[in-house]
Amino acid sequence: MKITESPLLEVKNLQTYIKTKKGEIKPTNDVSFSINRGEIVALVGESGSGKSVTSLSIMGLNASAIKYKPESSIEFKGRDLLKLKEKGLRKIRGNEIAMIFQDPMFSLNPVHPIGKQIAESVVLHKKVNYKEALKRALELLNKVGIPDAARRINDYPHQLSGGMRQRVMIALALACDPELLIADEPTTALDVTIQAQILTLLRDLQQELNISILLITHDLGVVAEVADRVLVMYCGKVVEEGTVDEIFDSSLHPYTRGLMSSIPPLHGISKDLLDAIPGVVPNPLELPKGCNFVTRCDFATERCHQVEPELTRYPSGNRVSCWNKLDKEGEMKEHVTTSINS
Amino acid sequence: MFFKFIMRRLLYVIPMLIITTLIVFSFILLIPGDPALALLGENATPEKIAQIHAQLGLDQPVIKQYLNWLGNAVQGDLGRSIFTGQPVEEAVFSRLGVTFQLVIVAMIFAIAGGLFFAITSIYFPNSWMDYVARFFGTLGTAIPNFWLGMILIIFFSLQLGWVPATGFTSITESPGAFLQGTILPAIALGATGMAQITRHLRSSLIEVMSADYVRTGFSKGINRWQAIMKHGLQNAMLPVVTTIGILFGNLLGATVVIETVFAIPGMGQLAVNSILQRDFTMLQGVVLVLIALIILINFITDIVYALLDPRIEY
Ligand SMILES: Nc1ncnc2c1ncn2[C@@H]1O[C@H](COP(=O)(O)OP(=O)(O)O)[C@@H](O)[C@H]1O
Ligand SMILES: [Mg+2]
């Protein structure tokens, strides 16, 4: 990937909030990151950390209860998606940015044949008639590895297995050659063996089409397989960012380390994250005063309880928000004062 | 495959029809009052009464009466009115056409109105249309149809004089006169149904619109109207189809009142007259045909459901 090029997508200070009777929830609290062309960026974190809200913000498909602070911006090819009108967003959705969702059981319309559902997207964005769109749908179904696609194109979703349905969703997302594909936990609802197949498919398609992918997952094991860069989210904040190598060789945040120790030695067999990191994600209405992770961190000091750490770039390349720089062994060391601000 | 499915559904219909005939026949026996007395008046002699009983077959064992009646009914002969001597099937089927036309117009009114209210309410949430739809959906089911009928007559016929208050013209005779004659009774008959469909479809649409596959639709770039019409409606209609099937039966029953209010010579009116005159053969015929019609509607409902939902196994 070329670093000189400007990023395809740049999320800056994404701050969302929901007003509830009990107070304000901030599903994403000042999230910033970018995705370059042809890059696979993984967004990792436990359930409730704000991954879906982040991705739906890019699509402009968040629930209406979710509002944006004015300093938030999401630049896609030079346009701020958050400032676009609904009509402008509709031209981008499915066309330049496409999305696949967690549960393929429910994300396809049960009363329409799969070919029709793919063709709908093609007709919407390309100047083709329905018949040509169906041809395109068939081509896509073949591309994502649906066996006997010519016959299957008239099948209804309930006639396909979960893995096949997720392949159909991928075909649907690729229908108009998008530049960015957002995959929100695309394998979470699938069997382990199928998970690996879908990931391989995504990686192969990415290389063939040179698209960018934002891959959302709560499983770091998935990340190691496909991603170029990793963002770790906790309680609506990015707490660590780095390349896959940086994260796997020298992750600095105790939360990232906790996630890593939850990867089982035999890849694929996903273990419950709660086993690895003691305690639970704090209630979004009652976040701790200092670092959000303080309630579950073995290394928390008085400072961690009082002052929130900022995302800081370390000499190793990672960006981390933690007062305690951790070395490879996981021992606690003095906070490095020479760290440079990113 | 679909043909086989229809045939299998038809097979279920046959035992239902047989049970219906049994029930219809035995219920009529339970109606108090002797038809011979109704025919002859209070001061009839016992000999005369016995003679009439023999004429009508009422002196025979009940089982034999039933089998005779059933045997004839299968051949399309429902007996003769003990009052006018007219063949029952003739009277019933001429009246059925009238009632059927009325009920169909009322159903179209109820379904079209229900679709309109439910869809606009979802498309313009929290608008005045939405509030009208919600208000009507909640309170509309409580409107008594005879009361609405009378209000409509008073306002549109007696005060404004736009349409006649009573009477009926078949659509085959004059479509214009047909519409003039059916519009008020159809509204009176269909209003509560429209409210039911509005309420049911609206809540069904609300649920469906938050489904994952509708979100997938939005992620393709469709707008709200397309989301409702292409992805929401067919799914949301599934539970409503059953409501519509039941509604049809309810409307058939309600014609008893509405046809009386609007003086329409249909099945409902025939049923009322037969009861008043203790014309039990006529009443048997009326009830039998009504129930058969409701069974037929159920059958059609099943098929429509299967056509709308590809997950139904044929
Ligand atoms: N529509 C919504 N209404 C209320 N709260 C929401 C809504 N969407 C998300 N949230 C809250 O925002 C936080 C982040 O949610 P989400 O982005 O779905 O997490 P993740 O995808 O990482 O599991 C959670 O605390 C969740 O309860
Ligand atoms: Mg999520």
Residues A281-334 have pLDDT tens digits of 899 998 999 999 999 988 888 888 998 998 888 887 889 998 886 544 444 444
Same domain for A193 and A259: no
Do residues A29 and A157 both lie within one domain? yes
With contact defined as beta carbons under 8 Å apart, do B292 and B20 qualify? Answer: yes
Tens of pLDDT along B60-82?
888 888 888 888 888 888 888 88
Residues of A with CB under 8 A from a CB of B: 59, 61, 86, 90-95, 98-99, 101, 103, 106-112, 117, 120-121, 124-125, 156, 158, 169, 172-173, 175
Domain hosting A154: range is 9-234
Look at residue B139 and tell me whether its pLDDT is greater than 60. yes
Tell me, yes or no, whether A62 and A176 share the same domain: yes
**Bridge partners (DSSP) listed for residue A180:** A97, A212
Instruction: State residue B210's pLDDT score.
Output: 94
Residue A211 and residue A261 in one domain: no
Residue where a domain stops, chosen among A203, A234, A265:
A234
Give the pLDDT confidence score for residue A20 in this predicted structure: 93
Residues A202 and A260 in one domain: no
Residue A204 lies in a domain: yes
Q: B217 contacts in A (CB within 8 Å)?
A: 109, 120
| Number of compact structural domains in chain A | 2
Q: Which two tokens stand for residue B269?
A: 């009116």
Q: Look up residue B312 and give its DSSP letter.
A: S
Do residue A221 and residue A261 come from a single domain?
Answer: no
B181 touches chain A (CB under 8 A): no
The model carries a pTM of 0.88
Q: What is the distance in A from the centroid of ligand 2 to the CA of A84?
A: 24
> What is the CA(A47)–ligand 2 centre distance, in A?
6
The CATH number of the domain where A103 resides is what?
Answer: 3.40.50.300
User: Do residue A116 and residue A171 come from a single domain?
Assistant: yes
Residue B208: predicted pLDDT: 97
In a domain, A247, yes or no: no
The number of the ligand nearest the C-alpha atom of A286 reads 1
Quote the minimal CA–CA distance from A2 to chain B in Å: 29
Are the beta carbons of A25 and A17 closer than 8 angstroms? yes
Q: B80 Cβ partners below 8 Å, 6+ apart? A: B86, B87, B88, B281
Condensed to tens digits (0 to 9), the pLDDT of residues A206-262 reads: 999 999 999 999 888 888 879 999 999 999 999 999 999 999 888 889 899 888 887
In chain B, what are the domains? 2-74 (no CATH), 91-313 (1.10.3720.10)
Same-domain check for residues A100 and A207: yes
Provide the pLDDT for residue A152.
96
| ipTM summary value | 0.89
Please check whether residue A242 lies inside any domain of the structure: no
SS3 letters for chain A? CCCCCCCCEEEEEEEEEEEECCEEECCCEEEEEEECCCCEEEEECCCCCCHHHHHHHHHCCCCCCCEECCCCEEEECCEEHHHCCHHHHHHHECCCEEEECCCCCCCCCCCCCHHHHHHHHHHHHCCCCHHHHHHHHHHHHHHCCCCCHHHHCCCCHHHCCHHHHHHHHHHHHCCCCCCEEEEECCCCCCCHHHHHHHHHHHHHHHHHHCCEEEEEECCHHHHHHHCCEEEEEECCEEEEEEEHHHHHHHCCCHHHHHHHHCCCCCCCCCCCHHHHCCCCCCCCCCCCCCCHHHHHCCCCCHHHHHCCCCCEECCCCCEECCCCCECCCCCECCCCCCCECC
A135 and A163 part of one domain: yes
**Could you tell me if B40 lies within 8 Å of chain A, comparing CB atoms?**
no
Residues A70 and A144 placed together within one structural domain of the fold: yes
Q: Are strands A9-20 and A73-76 parallel, antiparallel or unpaired?
A: antiparallel
**Shared-domain flag, residues A71 and A171:** yes
Task: Read off φ and ψ for residue B31, nearest 5 degrees.
Answer: -65, 125
Which residues have a Cβ under 8 Å from the Cβ of A2 and sit 6 or more positions away? A36, A37
Q: Output the pLDDT for position A326.
A: 54
Residue A139 lies in a domain: yes
List all residues whose CB is within 6 A of at least one atom of ligand 1.
A 18, 25, 27, 45, 47-53, 63, 65-66, 284
Nearest of A39, A140, A142, A58 to residue A98 by alpha carbon: A58
Tell me if A1 is assigned to some domain: no
Pairing of β A229-234 and β A237-243? antiparallel
Same domain? A225 vs A271: no
Over 80: is that where the pLDDT of B262 sits? yes
In a domain, A331, yes or no: no
Q: Is residue A246 part of a domain?
A: no
pLDDT tens digits, one per residue of B181-193: 999 999 999 999 9
CA distance readout (Å), A221 to A145, A199, A255, A326: 24, 11, 15, 21
Task: Report the percentage of chain A scoring pLDDT > 90.
Answer: 69
- The number of the ligand nearest the C-alpha atom of A102 reads 2
Is A339 contained in some domain?
A: no
